Amino acid sequence: MSIATSHPVRTWPRWWAHPLESTAVCCAILCTVCLVLFFYGLGSSELWRTETLRAIIAQQMLESGDWIVPRLYGEPLFTKPPGMYLAIVFCSLPFGRVTDFTARLPSALAATGCVLLFAWYFRRQLGQMAGLAAALILPMSLMWLDKASAAEIDMLQVFWVTASLLFFFRATEADDAGSFGWWLASMLCMAGGVLTKWTAPEFFYGTAIPFLWWRGRLQTLWSWQHFCSAAIAVLVCSLWIGAAVHREGWEVFWSTVEREGGDRLIPEHGGRPYPWGETAVHPAKLLITTLPWSLLALWALRPSFGRLLTVPERRMWQAMHCWVWPQVLFWSLPTEHTPRHSFPLFPALAGLAALVWLTWYDGRLKWKLPRRWAMQSLAGWLAFWFVFKFAFVHVVMPARCDHRDARGKGALIASLVPLGEILYLFRLKDEGIMFYYGRPVLRLQSVTELATIPGPVYCILTEEEWDSWDGSRRAEPVHRLTDAQGAPLVLVRVW
């Protein structure tokens, strides 16, 4: 008589059977996405346009050790606070100098921080799949493709605003005024935003006030948690402003800040008529810039969509709407309508798109498209975005710098100016060539200032400056070249 033996049943680990329910797997997916979308190709091409301005100011901070006052060719420049310049300095310290890679690294780190913060908050509120979807949707737009790997202020500003608002939403989850720790984190991030770009308080309070009003909790702004944490944030910003004013004087500081803000925010401040046409089309420009997710965000405006949501989802829905639409309105009103000024509202559009995707994924949204297509569409769009990123790095970035050759021109000037000599300039505005020149450069207000400097002296002049040379000192052209825009320049030796 034979005895039947039972074979052991193989059980798979949960992360293998249901990988997207595993926190470790989701973190691995998001880290891979960040590496590809943000870090790939950071140093593959020359810095472009105002990237070189950020890099050269950071380089001068690194060389001088003055981390308080941003300077360009020795002159204070307060058009932007020092936050981005300091971020570049910290990333460049291990290398001893600012490079293409280290200048862009803060933006890549900031973009990664945004993705991880989004994943954390959506996962905490709505579950693992919501956190993964929101974090994947967030960086897949044209603005992110450019700014997340650029030596620009914009991505770091988006990180500070995103962190500030997500910590604020976390602080106000409870029925009381909220946790002081989360309030403090929120306000300190807003201070980080102010020290990067002046507009951070508008994004914070322009979102927080409508959200608390909608929730019937506007009195939360009068809580001691908010007042104390806001006071600490104001103190942090005031310490830098006080130190900068002490160094350079109030008139220098305020005249720059007032001109910078007035030209961009106040109608007819610069003598130009108000651009009514640009105001009317600006919301459409923002929605086009964030396609295809802006279409899902518009779907989330439907009252019927709000009725599909659970209580936590509805709170998230309210938060994202208050983050998007007041900012769209506000940033349509100033005189300058560049979409990058509205960049800190883009995460909320991604958040609304994630909510719509989630209701499609779990079958609550009765579209004609099968729900099984939800995951396939997200994965397919991510694969397309990877290809788009590779094309951007290997085709777009080199092509836009080919005709500029700032690195080659900077090296050429460095070979013609003796080592140890200071290169002087007057009205030249081409930080690209000067960054790759890589040696001391000072700006003079007029040619007469050269009289106190013993020769020979090397200057880089525009063609107009060379043609109008007054002849008070003998000068000879050393080399002729063009700037990044193709305008003639003359390297001159003055005796």
pTM value is 0.91
Single-letter residue type at 272: R
Contact yes or no for 443/73 (Cβ under 8 A): yes
Tokens encoding 159: 């990180």
Burial (0-12, 13-18, 19+ Cβ within 10 Å), 452: exposed
pLDDT mean for each 10 residues of the chain (495 residues)? 50 50 84 95 90 95 92 91 96 94 97 96 93 95 93 96 97 75 96 94 96 93 94 96 94 83 65 79 91 92 92 95 95 85 95 95 83 87 94 91 88 94 89 91 87 87 88 85 88 91
List beta partners, residue 71.
Answer: 76
Where are the alpha helices (H) located in 195-310, listed in sequence order?
200-214, 224-248, 250-265, 276-289, 293-299, 303-306
For residue 88, the model assigns a pLDDT of: 97
Distances (CA, A) of 93 to 367, 447, 487: 53, 36, 35
For residue 355, the model assigns a pLDDT of: 96
Contact yes or no for 103/51 (Cβ under 8 A): yes
Q: Can you list the pairs that 373-380 forms with residues at least 24 positions away whose Cβ atoms lie under 8 Å?
A: 378/133, 378/136, 378/137
For residue 23, the model assigns a pLDDT of: 79
Percent helix / strand / coil, the chain, rounded to 5: 65, 5, 30
Contact yes or no for 219/261 (Cβ under 8 A): no
For residue 175, the model assigns a pLDDT of: 58
List beta partners, residue 490.
Answer: 461, 480
Distances (CA, A) of 333 to 79, 204, 302, 352: 21, 18, 25, 24
Parts of the chain belonging to CATH 3.40.190: 406-494
For residue 264, the model assigns a pLDDT of: 66
Distance CA 350, CA 292 (A): 10
Phi-psi region of 65 (alpha: psi -120 to 50; beta: other; left: phi over 0): left
Q: What is the dihedral of CA 132, 134, 140, 144, to 10 degrees?
A: -110
For residue 365, the model assigns a pLDDT of: 86
Burial (0-12, 13-18, 19+ Cβ within 10 Å), 354: buried
Burial (0-12, 13-18, 19+ Cβ within 10 Å), 360: buried
Tokens encoding 453: 């400097």
For residue 173, the model assigns a pLDDT of: 87
Report the CATH fold assignment for 406-494: D-Maltodextrin-Binding Protein; domain 2 (3.40.190)
